Amino acid sequence: MKINKLGSPEKPLIIAHRGFSEIAPENSMAAFESAANAKVDMIECDVRLSKDNKFVILHDSKLDRTTNGKGNLRTKTLNEIKTLNNGEWFSNKFRNEKLVTLEKLLKWLPKSIILNIELKPDVLSSSEESAEIKLVELLNKFEMSERCIVTSFNHKKIKTIKELNSKLTTGIIFNPIKNFRNSPSQLCNRFNADIFICNKHQLQSEVVEDAHKNKYLIYVYGVKSERDVNHAWQFKVDGIIANDPLFVKQALQKINILSSI
């Protein structure tokens, strides 16, 4: 793992959650392009499979909330969803946004940005080849394994992905209901992951210390306010995942300036 590229407490990575989703519809090209314009270190996106096993960027299992389509993505072919509107729910300005395939995102990704592919926990392939195999094959085919990290709430999927390609950096996302008895190092060790990801409410000094002592990185999500950024900085996280990455950048610059006086 290229640990220096994946953040440190001195310089936490700024990670755009579902793209720059504060100013553009989540998981849309507009949100990804805005994140690139804000010069983020990493872009996070949510990945699912269509009925014909194409990776599509969508958070919910259903199309209803963020597109003008209805029903489960996994019951539709790519052809059936390719003309859906993927942005009008956010603002009329984004009425021309379409759903994005992972292939398109990989082809577009600027060289300076790492892609955080969150494989949604319930993603199932409709063919014999599992979603994990398909994802690793796609990343291999596009020679993107060293420019992407794969994360999930489904830790078994993460373990499988690492078994399929040991060069891929992986992260497990903490589930407070299923994992409450486990420390970051126990989970990362069990599922062979490199990064522990939790939300701002789960961030405690013991959590960060346990991760770092055992050479795992720690990212925090749900960061919204200046207070959240200050907390993340004080707790020495390696990456900050936020809908508004520019705000995080500005808040961090402020802290750095203040601390260097």
CA 108, chain centre distance (Å): 17
- How many C-beta atoms surround the C-beta of residue 65 within 10 A? 10
- Phi/psi of residue 114, nearest 5 degrees: -90, 140
**Smaller CB distance to ligand G3P: residue 19 or 69?**
19
Site for ligand G3P in 102-121 (CB under 6 A): 118
Residue from 14, 197, 251, 252 in contact with ligand G3P (CB under 6 A): 197
- Minimal distance in Å, beta carbon 206 to ligand G3P? 21
Q: Which two tokens stand for residue 101?
A: 């395939």
Question: Taking CB under 5 A as the rule, which mask of x and - marks residues 114-143 in contact with Ca ion?
Answer: ----x-------------------------
Q: Please tell me whether residue 41 binds ligand G3P under the rule CB under 6 A.
A: no
- Minimal distance in Å, beta carbon 157 to ligand G3P? 14
Q: Please tell me whether residue 26 binds Ca ion under the rule CB under 5 A.
A: no
**Do strands 100-101 and 114-119 pair parallel, antiparallel, or not at all (unpaired)?**
unpaired
Q: Please tell me whether residue 221 binds ligand G3P under the rule CB under 6 A.
A: yes
Residue from 241, 246, 248, 251 in contact with ligand G3P (CB under 6 A): 241
Helix 226-234 and helix 245-260, axial crossing angle in degrees, nearest 10: 60
Tell me which residue of 25, 21, 57, 59 sits closest to 38, measured CA to CA. 21
- Minimal distance in Å, beta carbon 49 to ligand G3P? 16
Spatial separation of the C-alpha atoms in residues 238 and 225, rounded to whole Å: 18
Spatial separation of the C-alpha atoms in residues 171 and 192, rounded to whole Å: 9
Contacting positions for ligand G3P (CB under 6 A): 17, 44, 46, 59, 118, 151, 173, 197, 221, 241
